[in-house]
A and B are shown apart, each in its own frame.
Chain A
Amino acid sequence: DGGITQSPKYLFRKEGQNVTLSCEQNLNHDAMYWYRQDPGQGLRLIYYSQIVNDFQKGDIAEGYSVSREKKESFPLTVTSAQKNPTAFYLCATYPGSGANVLTFGAGSRLTVL
């Protein structure tokens, strides 16, 4: 987990509610990512950010939103528009291009009731 804090670890949401997952890093890495993990599938990219105040959609951005107001923080909001939000969400950081480690947080498990 080293240097990346995700919270909460577990979150329950009622249908129609927005929820925000927190991701904070102290690794001084430029890039931050949000991935979604479902059983039997590879991680899928939701959003990523290379610098403050800039971010790009990933492969499954619909129903999600992010912000990058500080280098250390990259919160993810799961909106009511996300049809099937129950999943394991992983935040990751990356110092830049090349053979550097993509470091992951411990994850947040979201369950829709």
Chain B
Amino acid sequence: KNQVEQSPQSLIILEGKNCTLQCNYTVSPFSNLRWYKQDTGRGPVSLTIMTFSENTKSNGRYTATLDADTKQSSLHITASQLSDSASYICVVAQTDSWGKFQFGAGTQVVVTP
């Protein structure tokens, strides 16, 4: 069973609207949680990194939240643009384990005019 579950699997939104993506994880021990944006056919690009003590972090129109108690994170996209069309991947790092990044399957976002 995947230790990082993302929802929804895909969504379509109108340009200018907001949306929220969800990430639930069971990874333990927990070190930090990351959100990445991946354009089709390209490598993922980091949006945010949050440690156990951080509840929210923003990067432009992207705002990530973390509730380490319930093991849930969300990524909120404000005033979506056509360039936001991509897959958004949640990644959880385990403490003291160099190779142990656990990846969600991603949420495919399509922004339409």
Q: Which of A1, A6, A99 contacts B51 (CB 8 A)?
A: A99
Q: Counting chain A CB atoms within 10 Å of each CB, which of B32, B34, B42, B99 scores highest?
A: B99
Q: Across the interface, do A102 and B104 meet the contact criterion of CB distance under 8 Å? A: no
Q: Across the interface, do B43 and A1 meet the contact criterion of CB distance under 8 Å? A: yes
Q: Counting chain B CB atoms within 10 Å of each CB, which of A88, A99, A103 scores highest?
A: A99
Residue tally, chain B, CB below 8 Å to A: 27
- The reply on B41 being an interface residue by CB < 8 A is yes
**Least distance between B52 CB and chain A CB atoms (Å):** 10
Q: Across the interface, do A102 and B99 meet the contact criterion of CB distance under 8 Å? A: no
**Least distance between B15 CB and chain A CB atoms (Å):** 26
Q: Across the interface, do B98 and A90 meet the contact criterion of CB distance under 8 Å? A: no
CA of A60 to CA of B91, assembled, Å? 18
**Least distance between A106 CB and chain B CB atoms (Å):** 5
Q: Across the interface, do A102 and B96 meet the contact criterion of CB distance under 8 Å? A: no
A44 CB contacts on chain B under 8 angstroms: 103
Q: Across the interface, do A58 and B91 meet the contact criterion of CB distance under 8 Å? A: no
**Least distance between A30 CB and chain B CB atoms (Å):** 9
Pairs across A and B, CB under 8 Å, 23 listed: A1-B42, A40-B105, A41-B105, A42-B4, A42-B102, A42-B105, A42-B106, A45-B99, A50-B98, A56-B99, A88-B41, A90-B44, A98-B31, A99-B49, A100-B49, A101-B49, A103-B46, A104-B43, A104-B44, A105-B43, A107-B41, A107-B42, A107-B43
Other A-B contacts than A42-B102, A88-B41, A107-B42, 16 sampled, CB-CB below 8 A, are A1-B42, A6-B43, A42-B2, A42-B106, A44-B103, A45-B101, A56-B99, A90-B43, A99-B31, A100-B49, A101-B46, A102-B46, A103-B46, A105-B43, A106-B42, A109-B41
List residues of chain A with CB under 8 Å of any chain B CB.
1, 4, 6, 31, 33, 35, 40-45, 48, 50, 56, 58, 88, 90, 92, 94, 97-107, 109
